[in-house]
Structure 1
């Protein structure tokens, strides 16, 4: 992957301008764009299934700010570029998507967004080279970082160097089938101890 596609700032390696540059180097997030068809459950617009062009299906929910847009402007029979927040479901080897909006292609001045691109930034809490699995813990940025703070996890497919637990990583990943596959990563260092 060509590094020239990503942020020009050394503080934010691997970040694509079209997805938005983090507000500070250690900002947590998991966000991406998926092309597919969202089919709501019968009688419930906000809960349904997002099926990709490769015919892989994911449980999904519409977040509040997206509901009005979908009701008034979106043909749900057609594939859309959905902005999503990925979560790994506890105890299950599958992803769940929160749909946050519709992606509008960047201006001609910005490089195009790679297909099925995801930005994942957070604390590595599990890594196995043999299983090609990395688990990233992501805290909500509007809460103080302390023990018990609200968080969720995202599972990535790929490898990173050994002995990197409790380090803050930024990943660029791509949705391939049912997995988020690591394309590139950058280690931003060990996390500070939690505030008690």
Structure 2
């Protein structure tokens, strides 16, 4: 097995949104972690460098040259344009020239650790390629637009997850709403265009939230009677031989309702 930046999914319904972009990273004037990727076609993609890559970019990468960046795509809520979060750089032919990792032998000497498996060269990987896997939540044939919901599991707590929507351009022949699909997409300008799509499965039905049960006082409520002061159950109907009428109250103009 060769090491690749975008491995095959580990399970059929694994959510994913990851891609490869080749270009130059142009940092902003005030921050290293914020800037944009300048592509060969002149497109500028807003980019954010994630924490795990900052040291690598700062100390080992020549930002004047082009590199193959491993990115997480996002859709800007306001402009609907492509944004990326840089999570890695795939350039083994350059990074492997750095000093090898050393481990201690049982006798105290050091040895270099060889790579566990061959690594795919950056020159053998396609540019502007994206793998998108998730639930289709919007589909418009007229606009040729599709929105895919991606669930992102927290690294600290695997039971917690948050979701975001990624917009793709393309048309599906079938009704794909609330279905899990595997998309292969390509960047064209600042949008992702579907190259191929494969149906995976229908999404499981959402669990309905149970209504909270009323928890009141158990048993009938008793009230004292004027005659004896003993308790009488309100839960039982009161038998009356004659209709009960209320004594009329004196007229009060403040109690009247005027209809305009």
Find the counterpart in structure 1 of residue 57 from structure 2: 70
| Structure (1 or 2) with the larger CA radius of gyration | 2
Aligned length: 177
Find the counterpart in structure 1 of residue 138 from structure 2: 126
**Structure number having the greater strand percentage:** 1
Contact 1:18/1:113, CA 8 A, preserved across alignment: no
What is the SS of the residue equivalent to 1:44?
Answer: coil
User: What displacement does 1:108 show?
Assistant: 6.2
Contact 2:70/2:86, CA 8 A, preserved across alignment: yes
Offset from partner CA, 1:120-139 (integer Å, 9 cap, x none): 00000111122111110101
Of structures 1 and 2, the one scoring higher in RCO (CA 8 A, sep 6+) is 1
Find the counterpart in structure 2 of residue 55 from structure 1: 42
Q: Calculate the TM-score normalised by the size of structure 2.
A: 0.63
Q: CA RMSD in A?
A: 2.3
User: What displacement does 1:144 show?
Assistant: 4.3
User: What displacement does 1:33 show?
Assistant: 0.4
Find the counterpart in structure 1 of residue 206 from structure 2: 194
Find the counterpart in structure 2 of residue 183 from structure 1: 195
Find the counterpart in structure 2 of residue 158 from structure 1: 170
Gap runs ≥5 in structure 2: 93-117, 210-260
User: What displacement does 1:181 show?
Assistant: 0.9
Change (3 A) 1:134 1:68: same
Gap runs ≥5 in structure 1: 1-16
Change (3 A) 1:156 1:37: same
CA distance in 1, matches of 2:77, 2:172: 22
User: What displacement does 1:141 show?
Assistant: 3.0
Matched, 1:170 2:157: no
